Amino acid sequence: MEAFKNVASVAHDNIKKVLAEWIESNYQVPLEHDLTCTGTTGQMIENVIKQKLKIENKMTGFKSVIKLKSGSLGSDHQPGAMITEGKIDVLIFSWGHMHMM
């Protein structure tokens, strides 16, 4: 199996903080792949990675995260379509407890 992958990530709002903490501790992992995310998740991940690279003076070689539409505008539909087109190898779908009122 190839080491390089086209990875997509979708994260519900109530899990984004946990995902940001994981990315902060493991930011080198997404650097080894092309990363596509829904809009808000992608912006958050990109900001965390850039901050870590800035601290370590390693800004060279980082490609930005491909950001799709957020929420009801794209959500998991766009990454799903990209999977069927062969543009995504791995999908990481993160969700937490949904609180209903």
Residue 34 DSSP one-character state: E
Q: Which amino acid is residue 20, in one-letter code?
A: A
Answer yes or no: is 3 within a domain. no
Residue 97 has a CB neighbour count (10 Å cut-off) of 8
Answer yes or no: is 100 within a domain. no
Answer yes or no: is 16 within a domain. yes
Say what the pLDDT of residue 10 is. Answer: 87
Cα distances from 29 to residues 4, 35, 41, 43, 100, in angstroms, run 11, 10, 16, 17, 34
Structural domain boundaries enclosing 29: 8-94
Q: For the domain that residue 19 is a member of, what is the CATH number?
A: 3.40.50.1380
Question: What would the two tokens of residue 23 be?
Answer: 């990315």
Say what the pLDDT of residue 1 is. Answer: 47
Active site residues: 76
Q: Look up the pTM and report it.
A: 0.80
- Domains held by the chain: number: 1
Per-residue pLDDT of the chain (101 residues; tens, 9 = 90+): 468 899 998 888 888 889 999 999 998 888 888 999 989 899 999 999 999 888 887 766 677 899 999 877 767 789 889 999 999 999 888 877 655 44
